[in-house]
Chains A and B, each alone.
Chain A
Amino acid sequence: MATRQPLLEVRNVSKMFGSVLALSNVSAQFYAGEVTCLLGDNGAGKSTLIKILSGVYQPTEGDYLFEGKKVLLNSPREALALGIATVYQDLSLIPLMSVWRNFFLGAEPEKRLGPIKGYDIDFAKRTVREVLGHMGIFIRDPDQPVGTMSGGERQSIAISRAIYFGAKVLILDEPTAALGVKQAGMVLHHIVRAKQRGLAVIFITHNPNHAWPVGDHFIILRRGRVLGDYRREELTQADLMNLMAGGEDLIKLQQELEALLKQPLEAVGEPAHVQEAVGAG
């Protein structure tokens, strides 16, 4: 187990923005056929790390290894060429465009018509229907604009597009953040399916309830550092919840809030407008 080579690895990576240290000495390994959950609160450095992994940022210090070899990625395009696909929160889908146009955008299938080339629309529509059908999404009308589909369906389209175009690493940036329970469940299904296909899935979330059912490996970030790096068997769900919530921090916050409740309003020194509002009410 320990001797396996990670598909993707960062070693002692730091990222500075001017004088602000966004990421400090972070090391992480991501394996094929596994779901690695990257957890952390807002501002923990999750977005900085995935932007380094997906080629948007270059690390200030440290190494980036893909299939055991050091690489330097200058753009998301270069990452994509290696098979590192990122599905961002805003999805990179064009809302007014149809499902099939979105699916093949930037990699359009073409057919020859004498000396000129046209878009192979039949192939595109057929393929989209098939590929999404495998994902459990049945498209009655491939001409439907993506903007009219549900959040879960859109995530699914973006994920299946990455898989179809041969991704080896699938980076998902908060794919379940804005979704209801049923829709989030749909996305978690796709994460498991992608893992079964042998992809290294990097699942960024701040919701341990979404991470726990699918994760093989959990990395918790806090203030730009790795707070913990655990295999699934080293943890219980309660441990994960506790780590995520910030453990001691949470207990401290709870005590503070209780103390606050016992104090009368006037004594706290509320801002003037709040007092006015209370007085007027």
Chain B
Amino acid sequence: MPAKVVTAAPGTEEQLVQVGLVRSVFRRVEIGALIGAVAVWLLFAAVAPGNWLSVTGVARILDPASTLGIMAIAVALLMIGGEFDLSTGVMTGTTGLIAGLLSTRLGWNLWPAMFVALVIALGIGYVNGLMVTRTGLPSFIVTLATFFVLRGANVGITRLVTEQVYVGGIDKTQGFDLARLVFNTGIDVFGVEFRSSIIWWVVIAVLASWVLLRTKYGSWIFAVGGDANAARNLGVPATRVKIALFMTTAAAGWLVGMMNIARLRSAVASQGIGQEFVYIIAATIGGCLLTGGYGSVIGASIGAIIFGMAQVGIVFAGWDTDWFYSFLGVMLLAAVLVNNYTRRRAQEISLAAAKARTEG
């Protein structure tokens, strides 16, 4: 095969290099989230510098960001794979209740109880994935149904067994101390307590990002979200990939559920309701497209940090916390607009370059 090199016209080289640099900056999936994070940080640094710029401030921000971040990472992977899961929030409640009921009412050691909760969570995730891939119905609807079923069952079963809507006394079960140590303990750094869930979050973010960007499975996730049929034609096991992603969000729900009961020593039947949208918001702020095939795990984590900053910053600034969700809504809109702009900008530059190559 002769490889005759066609030399570019003089003068175009420099232009192309410049285009490449601008494009690579704009093409970062996380750019919108990063701009948003810096803006929110600066805002609260100006309004409440005393608390904000302290180690305590950082610990307070990372506390809610960690569990939210773990969920947002799993949700981001699923969204990149082209699907939604609205049963993620309520799953943190379901798993906590299962482990709590089995250990406090049947006297089980907490560890096998947690294991059973994990198996059930994975089962529900599997069923979600199976229903979506078999029926071809939108996952929004299928998992909305799962959400309602679980929400009802959480309250129904808990009340049936305990005659209350919460399961208390989990800290008196066998194995609790170890569970607390593993899932959610306080770690002293510079005299300030950081939650160990932060370590889980960072490890999961690194791992998930590696899988997404550096293994074939990551390519498959992007592909099934971008065009499931085309991916299938090329031999990607699209159905298995999607089911695995639903099981991943369920497993993340379990992990956060365990962190909650380890920390609170109890499980509440209403736990997690409404959180599913917060996870989707964090993933979206982080650059995930609602149509699938595009997004970032690191971006979703930054989205979680923005969320944590807003939650803590409003308190530090002495503002009325009632406005928290309005603030979040504005953040979401701003981030999505920035994402949209940068993506279009990157595409325009690439398109112009492609035109120049083929026509010029």
Contact = CB atoms under 8 A, between A and B. Distances in A.
Contact of B219 (A80, A105, A143, A183): A105
Interface in B5-63: 5-6, 16, 20, 23-24, 27
Interface stretch (A29-37, A45-53, A113-121, A215-223): A113-121
A257 interface: no
Contacts of B235: 77, 80, 106-107
A162 to B, nearest CB: 11
Given A119-B215, A148-B350, A182-B358, A94 B231 contact: yes
Contacts of A149: 350, 354
B219 A145 contact: no
B236 interface: yes
B358 A150 contact: yes
Contacts of B351: 148
B330 interface: no
Contacts of A239: none
A93 B214 contact: no
Nearest to B219: A101
A90 interface: yes
Contacts of B210: 118
A106 B228 CA distance: 12
A234 B93 CA distance: 76
Given A76-B233, A145-B347, A149-B354, A96 B293 contact: yes
A97 B358 contact: no
Interface in B343-360: 346-347, 350-351, 353-355, 357-359
A97 B219 contact: yes
A229 interface: no
A191 to B, nearest CB: 15
A197 B2 CA distance: 12
A110 B222 CA distance: 17
Contacts of B227: 92, 94-95
B222 A94 contact: yes
A96 B294 contact: yes
Interface stretch (A133-141, A198-206, A247-255): A133-141
Contacts of B236: 105-106
Q: Is the interface of A mostly helix, strand, loop or mixed?
A: loop
A108 B226 CA distance: 17
A207 interface: no
Contacts of A92: 227, 230, 233-234
B1 interface: yes
Contacts, number: 98
A80 B351 CA distance: 32
Contacts of B214: 118-119, 121
Interface string A178-192: 000011001000000
B216 interface: yes
Contacts of A228: none
A148 B347 contact: yes
A93 B230 contact: yes
A127 interface: no
B3 interface: yes
Contacts of A119: 214-216, 218-219
A117 B234 CA distance: 21
B350 to A, nearest CB: 4
A38 to B, nearest CB: 20
B8 to A, nearest CB: 8
B224 to A, nearest CB: 9
A145 B227 CA distance: 14
A97 B226 contact: yes
A27 interface: no
A147 interface: yes
B251 interface: no
A118 B233 contact: no
B223 interface: yes
B226 A94 contact: yes
Interface in A161-189: 182-183, 186
A258 B34 CA distance: 66
Contacts of B6: 136, 138
B79 to A, nearest CB: 13
Nearest to B4: A136
A24 interface: no
A145 B6 CA distance: 23
Given A80-B235, A148-B354, 10 more contacts: A90-B230, A91-B230, A96-B294, A97-B222, A110-B216, A119-B216, A145-B347, A153-B357, A182-B358, A186-B358
Interface of B: 1, 3, 5-6, 16, 20, 23-24, 27, 210, 214-216, 218-220, 222-223, 226-227, 230-231, 233-236, 289, 293-294, 346-347, 350-351, 353-355, 357-359
29 contacts: A77-B235, A80-B235, A92-B234, A94-B222, A94-B230, A94-B293, A95-B226, A95-B227, A101-B222, A101-B223, A104-B219, A105-B236, A118-B210, A118-B214, A119-B215, A119-B219, A133-B3, A133-B5, A136-B6, A138-B6, A140-B16, A140-B353, A141-B24, A148-B350, A148-B354, A153-B354, A153-B358, A186-B358, A197-B1
Report the 10 A-B pairs with minimum CB-CB distance, sorted nearest first: A148-B350, A108-B216, A106-B234, A106-B235, A94-B226, A92-B230, A96-B293, A150-B358, A150-B354, A101-B219
Interface of A: 76-77, 80, 88, 90-97, 101, 104-108, 110, 117-119, 121, 133-134, 136, 138, 140-141, 143-145, 147-150, 152-153, 182-183, 186, 197
